[in-house]
Amino acid sequence: MNISEHFTLEEFSFSETAARLGLDNTPIPAVISNLGLVAAVMEGIRKLLGDRAIVVHSGYRSAALNQALGGVATSAHCSGLACDFVCPAFGTPIEVALAILKSAIEYDQLILEYGWVHVGLAQEGCPSRREALTKRSKVSAYEFGIRT
């Protein structure tokens, strides 16, 4: 089921880890609505990146899946408000993150992680912080700013 021109609900909710562990990762209607918001932002990012294909690594995560992956309980993924992705045809994750950082694309968090970019949106009614971070270690140490 398409939730935008180039993105499907399946790519935002599929997880190899969930399948392997037998975890249900089916989003509820409120989460599907949030994923529509994320897909709209991802369409803007795709356009920014020269209309190149984006590969989604992670979108929605059920609480059980998020815990299995070692995610924090407050992760925007759990409410369907985040996407981890790459765009190899555009460039490296740092090049993608820098392009987004320099753009007018609205986000709450932009995180350069281990080989991918994380874009998170704010909860409805909350202002977007437009926070840019670089994850430096697997123990959740973040440094402000995305450095080249």
Q: What is the pLDDT of residues 13-23, one digit of tens each?
A: 999 999 999 99
Q: State CA 30 to chain mean position distance.
A: 17
The pair phi, psi for residue 2, each rounded to 5°, is: -75, 135
pTM over 0.85: yes
Residue 36 CB coordination number (10 Å): 15
Residue 144 CB coordination number (10 Å): 9
Cα first-last separation, the chain:
37
Sequence-ordered list of residues with C-beta below 8 angstroms from that of 82, at least 6 positions apart, any chain:
38, 58, 59, 75, 76, 109, 118, 119, 120, 121
Q: What is the per-residue pLDDT across 97-139, written as a single tens digit (0 to 9) for each? A: 999 999 999 999 999 998 999 999 999 889 889 999 988 765 5
Name the fold adopted by 9-144. Answer: Muramoyl-pentapeptide Carboxypeptidase; domain 2 (3.30.1380)
